[in-house]
Structure 1
């Protein structure tokens, strides 16, 4: 079992970087939750622990001590950047003491490649720094900076839940490749819980926001039906029909009566 410690940067009394009406702590938590869900729903050998699952305050020491005592195999810290409004793009970091041929650097190569394939951000490259979470962890660690929150272009993307889902998927693609994660029932039926389909993206975002406020993770998927573009709100995908039914009930209890399950082979 691969033990992956996912650390959404900042939180609680520490908002992190701010700009364009957004706070880093909120963006990092959302992406990290999506990473966790993708890993736990789709892979058999990924054990995920998060430094925080809500808007709580947690010191850097607490985060690294927890990962170390748990015996994590990999530490993944999710962040956003800020500078002067004009800087933009994605970059990631390993500790400055490590060589380019180290195991951690090899993992960085894979992660960087997979994330930058999908994130629609300027590629600022692979870097090294003496950050606490990179220095004090006893396992390989990577810190990703997913755009500049004070840059108009990057902030517009950050605001989009489907972009955050894509970024999470990019991280997961990297983890799966780096650590040979095994997919669940690759050829089996996948049961998707659909919590509404809308022709208006704004309405889909309202539905997603409603679900999130009720503690239900979801994302928006653009689909074309009969030549028209629809925005479908998906609230989970399961290889087990019973798990999908349980999620459907949860969604309906949150007031979403038009939710349904679709089976994909």
Structure 2
């Protein structure tokens, strides 16, 4: 079982970086929820615990204490940068005490490659810092900075739900490769054919049975056929 502690930064009274009508806390929560849903819906033997699932206050110490008590295998903290309006791009951080040969650096290299494949941002590189969430966690930890909110070009991307979906997918692809996550088996699709005419194609049993039930009184022949 792979256990991820997923930490959308800031929240509540702390909006994080702001610019171009956007707040960091809202955007990183949106991306984090997308990451969680992808992992839970598409992979097996994965657990995800989030520091917050809504706009609430939570201290850095509360976050790292919770992750340590949870026994997470990996800590992923999502952020968005701001500087002077001209800076732009993506970068990520591990703790500055770690060697480039460490397992954390290896995980980061994989995620960095997968995220930058999809995010269409300037690649500002792989960096190190003494951030609390990187220092006080017992497990490998990574902090990603997904664009600059006060840069017009980056902000236009941040405003797009489609772009945020791609950023989430990049993180998920990286986690899959770094931790050898396995996809859930895809459910087969069944066609429902009523009197020679296909009336639907479904994966969920409830939908298949509902379609059949809807035609029981009027159909001469109902066929359920696996695609």
TM-score by length of 2: 0.84
Q: How many residues are aligned here? A: 198
Residue 166 of structure 1 is matched in structure 2 by: 166
Residue 68 of structure 1 is matched in structure 2 by: 68
Residues 153 and 3 of structure 1, relative CA distance in 2, 3 Å threshold: same
SS of the residue aligned with 2:88?
coil
Is there any run of 5+ residues in structure 2 with no aligned partner, and where? 191-201, 209-226
Residue 130 of structure 1 is matched in structure 2 by: 130
2:175 is the counterpart of 1:175: yes
SS of the residue aligned with 1:137?
coil
Displacement of 1:242 in angstroms is 5.3
Equivalent residue in structure 2 for 1:241, among 204, 209, 213 = 204
Instruction: Tell me which structure has the larger Cα radius of gyration.
Output: 2
Residue 152 of structure 1 is matched in structure 2 by: 152
Residue 215 of structure 1 is matched in structure 2 by: none
SS of the residue aligned with 2:12?
coil
SS of the residue aligned with 2:182?
coil
Q: Structure 2 matches for 1:1-265, cutoff 5 A?
A: 1-186=1-186, 188-189=187-188, 241=204
Is there any run of 5+ residues in structure 1 with no aligned partner, and where? 192-238, 246-264
Distance 1:240 1:12 in 2: 40
Distance 1:147 1:61 in 2: 25
- Report 1 or 2 for greater relative contact order, CA contacts < 8 Å, sequence distance ≥ 6: 2
Residue 193 of structure 2 is matched in structure 1 by: none
TM-score by length of 1: 0.72
